Amino acid sequence: MRLDTRNWSHAAHSGNGMAAGGAIDNHDSKVRVLIAHSDAIVSAGLAALLGAECDMELDKTQATADVIILDYKGALEHMRQRANAPQHGEPQARVLIVTQMEREWEVRTAMMAGIHGYLLQNCAADQLLTAVRTLSRGMRYLSADLSRCVADSFTRINLTSRETDVLQLLAQGQCNKSIARELGIGVGTVKTHVKGLFDKLGATARTHAVVLATRRGLVGEGSASRH
């Protein structure tokens, strides 16, 4: 799966994170924020932090909100519903994810779904405020740690279809001969694909490759435990 990064390619670093996109000046009015996170404790913390800011106010409806804060699953569902809803030309709220989910694959999936901002729940309070203000101006925001993570994945995780096949069989614990027999290719070709996987994943051994691939969502969660 490939991600179109054109909207993120001219990012400007702001504080501890990354922002990108065309700016919309919203300095003259308060930023209306709707908190729709599924975790009640997280929601309460967000409300306390944002409600204390003089340039922000908590909103209760999507129709008037500038920024909506959601958990990972809720945000993806929101974007899916938005994509399927009739478009009437009205400006729509920007969507910020606040979550514990930090794997490269999860972040990339969210970005591909059109999410405007992504933060981890353990981020600093000032990073949350920067993210909300950045989104309210029509830009995108990704925390510094996650931006490095995603940038790293762009350069290294571009597996060919054959490398993907080999990776799945590696995750099943199959040896090179078994993989060659399964795919109908030579053992030497399998070794070449395995080396390519090591280079792209940054792995030093077969088990290491499976562990890294599992963390990034390229193979199932149970794969690493079999090694």
Instruction: Please indicate whether the domains covering 6-154 and 158-226 agree at the CATH topology level.
Output: no
Q: Which of 138, 142, 135, 137 shows the shortest CA–CA distance to 67?
A: 135
CB-based contact 197:159 (threshold 8 Å): yes
- Can you tell me whether residue 19 is helix, strand or coil? strand
pLDDT at 128: 96
CA distances from 53 to 58, 97, 100, 209 (A): 10, 20, 24, 46
Q: How far is CA 8 from the centre of its chain?
A: 13
Helices (H), the chain: 40-51, 72-84, 104-112, 125-136, 144-156, 161-171, 176-183, 187-201, 206-215
Which fold does the domain 6-154 belong to in CATH? Rossmann fold (3.40.50)
pLDDT at 25: 46
pLDDT at 112: 83
pLDDT, tens only, 162-214: 898 899 899 999 999 999 999 999 999 999 999 999 988 888 999 999 988 88
Q: What is the pTM of this model?
A: 0.63
Spell out the domain ranges in the chain.
6-154, 158-226
Q: In 22-36, which positions are buried (b, 16+ CB within 10 angstroms) versus exposed (e)?
A: eeeebeeeebbbbbb
Pick the CATH number of 158-226 from 3.30.360.10, 3.30.420.40, 1.10.10.10, 2.60.40.290: 1.10.10.10
pLDDT at 155: 54
Task: Extract the residue ranges of the chain whose pLDDT is less than 70.
Answer: 1-28, 149-157, 217, 220-227
